[in-house]
Structure 1
Amino acid sequence: MKIARILIVDDAKFTRDLMVKAVKAEYPKFEVEVAQDGRKAQGMLGRARYDLVLCDWEMPEMSGIELLTWLREEEDNRNRDVPFVMVTSLGDKEYVLEAAEHGVTDYVTKPFNNEQLSSKVTKYLVKQGIISKTELAEQLKKRDRMLGGGGTANVLTQKQGMPSGSGVHSSVSHGIHPAKRVRGKAMLLFGTEKLPVMIRELSTQEVVLMLRTDMSLPAMFQKVTVGFLAGQGDNQQRLSTKGSVIMLQALEKRLDAEVVYAGIRFTDLDDKSQKTLSRIIGLMSH
C-alpha cells in the first residue's frame, strides 16, 4: 500500500484529534497533518501535495467553504483537484448544494464515528489507486472478522448524502410536496452519458432513480439533467430539468450489488415546470 498524505482542517482540537485517531487507527503509516483554520490550511496547500482533505465548514479566519472555493479556483495549485470532504454539523440540503456548487467531493455529517470517517478516506484513496482493490478486499475481510461478520461492504455501498438520516423510502419527503412511490421511466444525462433509468420516488423537489451498477454512475454532487415523459396523446407530459446528485446508496450492502439508488435535487424548476412535474407525478401514480 502506498503512503498517503492527508490534511485535516478544524478549529476544534478535540475534533482534529478524533479525525486523526480515526485515520491512524485504520492506516497507521499514513502522513496526517492538521490545520486549525482555513487560513493556515491555505498556506499548507500552497506548499505541499495532499491526497485528501478533511475539512470543517465553520471556522474563524477562513471557513471551509471559503477554503474550498479558493482551492478550486487556483489554477496553478497542485491540490486544485484533490478530493475535498466537508466534515460538518451543517447537514441541511441547502448547505450540501452550496458545497456542491463550489466543488466539494463528499460530505460527512457530525457527529461521526471512526468507521464512517475511515470509510470515506478509503473510498477516495481507492479511486486514486493509493489503495488497490486487492488491499481493500483484504482490509474488508480483516474488518469483517473483527466485527463478527456482516457490514463490510459499507465502504463502497453506504448511503452517501441525504444527511438528514432518512432511508430510501422517505428520502425525498422534505419538499413542500411529499414524495410518491411511482412507476415510470426517465432519462438521466451527465457528461456524455444518456441512461434510461427507473423512477422509485418522485416529488416536485427531488427524485430517486434506480441505476444498474454496470452503467456509468454519476458522482456525488455532480450536475445532471433528468428527462421525464408520462401519459399519451393529448394528455402526454414532457419535462427536462437540471439537478444535483445528493444521495447514492446501493440496494444491497454487498460489493457486487447490482442496483444503486441515486437521489437528485432539482435546481431550476420554475412555477410552470413544477406544475408540469405535478401532472407527471399524477400520471405515474395511477
Structure 2
Amino acid sequence: MKPARILVVDDAKFTRDLMVKAVKIEFPQFEVETAQDGRKAQKLLEISRFDLVLCDWEMPEMSGIELLTWLREQSESRNKDVSFIMVTSLGDKEYVVEAAQHGVTDYITKPFNNDQLVSKVTKQMVKQGIISRGELASIVSRRTHVMGGGTTANVLTSKQGMSGSAPSSQAPRRVRGKAMLLFGEHKLPVTIRELNTQEVIAVIPRDQALPEMFEELSVGFIAGQVEKQMRLTTRGCVTLLQAQEKRVTAENVYVGIRFVDMDEKSSQLLSKIIARLSS
C-alpha cells in the first residue's frame, strides 16, 4: 500500500477526532492532518500536497463549499484535482447538486459511522492506485469478518451461496423477488438471491451497469399485491462483487449490499417483506 496524506477539515473537534481515528485505525500508515475551518485548510493546501480532503460544509471563516470552489479554481495548485469528500448534515438534494456543480468527488451525510467513512476513503484510495486490487480484497475480507461473520463473505467460497456460520436468526433466506438499485444515474432492476434484515445478495446481468465496491446506494423492495403492497427503500453499501460462476464468460454477477442506518421500524417492515417473498 502506498503512502497517502489526508486532510480533515471540521470546526467541531469531536468530529475531527472521530474522522482521524476512523482513518488511522484502518490505515495507520496514512498521514492525517487537521484544520478547524476553511481558512486554515486553505493555508495547508497552499503549501502541502494531499491525496484526499474530508471536509465539513458548515464552518466559520470559510465554509466547505467555499473551500471547494476556491480549490478547483487554483489552476497552478498541486491540489486542484484532489479527491474532495464533503461531510455534512446538509443532505437535501439541492445541496448535493450544488456540491457536484463545484467539483465535489463524493458526499457523506451526518450522522455517519466509521464503516461509511472508511468505505468512502477506501474507494478514493483504490481509484488513485494507492490501494491495489489485491490489498482491496484483503480489506474486504477483514471488514466483512468484523461486520458480523460469514454471511456476505460466504458467497465467495460456499457452493450453496450464503448458507454459512451466521446465527439462524440472521441467516440469509433464499427468496423469490425483485429489487431496485439506485446508484449514480442508474435505476437498475435486479433479482434477489438471498436476503435478511442486514444484507441482500442480488444477481445482475454482467452487461448491465454495476456499482463499485464500497459504493453507497439505495435499495428498493416491493412485496404483495397492489391493494396490500409493502414498499421499503433503504440505504446500503456494496461489500461484494463476485462472478456467479468461476469462468471469464460468466453472464451474471452477485452484488452483496449491507444495509446501513436501518432503524427498528424499517427492519420490522423488511422482515415482513422477506416473509412475503419467501412464502
Q: TM-score, structure 2 length as denominator?
A: 0.59
Structure 2 partner of 1:256: 242
How many angstroms apart in 1 are the aligned matches of 2:37 and 2:100?
Answer: 21
Structure 1 partner of 2:171: none
State the SS of the aligned residue for 1:55: strand
For residues 93-116 of structure 1, give each alpha carbon's deviation from its aligned partner in whole angstroms, at most 9, with x where no partner exists. Answer: 000000011000110000010000
State the SS of the aligned residue for 1:50: coil
Structure 2 partner of 1:141: 141
Unaligned runs of 5+ in 2: 155-178, 190-203, 213-234, 244-252, 256-279
| Percent identity between the two aligned chains | 64
Q: What is the one-letter code of the residue matched to 1:50?
A: F
For residues 252-278 of structure 1, give each alpha carbon's deviation from its aligned partner in whole angstroms, at most 9, with x where no partner exists. Answer: 752137499xxxxxxxxxxxxxxxxxx
Kept in 2: contact 1:20–1:32 (CA 8 A): yes
- 1:1-286 matches, cutoff 5 A: 1-146=1-146, 147-151=148-152, 214=207, 254-256=240-242, 258=253
Q: What is the one-letter code of the residue matched to 1:42?
A: Q
How many angstroms apart in 2 are the aligned matches of 1:144 and 1:259?
Answer: 16
State the SS of the aligned residue for 2:95: helix
Q: CA deviation at 1:143?
A: 1.9
How many angstroms apart in 2 are the aligned matches of 1:171 and 1:17?
Answer: 32
Kept in 1: contact 2:242–2:254 (CA 8 A): no
How many angstroms apart in 1 are the aligned matches of 2:187 and 2:55?
Answer: 35
Q: CA deviation at 1:58?
A: 0.1
Q: TM-score, structure 1 length as denominator?
A: 0.57
How many angstroms apart in 2 are the aligned matches of 1:118 and 1:130?
Answer: 14
How many angstroms apart in 2 are the aligned matches of 1:217 and 1:75?
Answer: 33
Kept in 2: contact 1:3–1:29 (CA 8 A): yes
- The alpha-carbon distance between structure 1 residues 134 and 77, as it changes in their structure 2 partners (threshold 3 A), is same
Q: What is the one-letter code of the residue matched to 2:122?
A: T
Kept in 2: contact 1:213–1:259 (CA 8 A): no
State the SS of the aligned residue for 1:129: coil
How many angstroms apart in 2 are the aligned matches of 1:170 and 1:140?
Answer: 21
Kept in 2: contact 1:35–1:41 (CA 8 A): yes
- The alpha-carbon distance between structure 1 residues 135 and 97, as it changes in their structure 2 partners (threshold 3 A), is same
For residues 217-254 of structure 1, give each alpha carbon's deviation from its aligned partner in whole angstroms, at most 9, with x where no partner exists. Answer: 799xxxxxxxxxxxxxxxxxxxxxxxxxxxx988x752
Deviates more, 1:141-150 or 1:127-136: 141-150
- The alpha-carbon distance between structure 1 residues 169 and 255, as it changes in their structure 2 partners (threshold 3 A), is closer
Quote the RMSD (CA, aligned, Å).
3.5
State the SS of the aligned residue for 2:54: strand
For residues 128-153 of structure 1, give each alpha carbon's deviation from its aligned partner in whole angstroms, at most 9, with x where no partner exists. Answer: 00000000101111222333134569
Q: What is the one-letter code of the residue matched to 2:139?
A: Q
- The alpha-carbon distance between structure 1 residues 150 and 40, as it changes in their structure 2 partners (threshold 3 A), is farther
Q: What is the one-letter code of the residue matched to 2:74?
A: E
How many angstroms apart in 2 are the aligned matches of 1:199 and 1:19?
Answer: 32
Structure 1 partner of 2:220: none
Kept in 1: contact 2:35–2:41 (CA 8 A): yes
Q: CA deviation at 1:169?
A: 5.4
Structure 2 partner of 1:227: none
Kept in 1: contact 2:74–2:80 (CA 8 A): yes
How many angstroms apart in 1 are the aligned matches of 2:141 and 2:115?
Answer: 15
Kept in 2: contact 1:72–1:81 (CA 8 A): yes
How many angstroms apart in 1 are the aligned matches of 2:80 and 2:139?
Answer: 29
How many angstroms apart in 2 are the aligned matches of 1:112 and 1:11?
Answer: 17
Kept in 1: contact 2:181–2:187 (CA 8 A): no
Unaligned runs of 5+ in 1: 154-167, 173-189, 191-196, 201-210, 220-247, 261-286
- The alpha-carbon distance between structure 1 residues 101 and 49, as it changes in their structure 2 partners (threshold 3 A), is same
When the two structures are aligned, how many residues end up with a matched partner?
188
| Bigger RCO of structures 1 and 2 (CA < 8 A, at least 6 apart) | 1
- The alpha-carbon distance between structure 1 residues 152 and 19, as it changes in their structure 2 partners (threshold 3 A), is farther
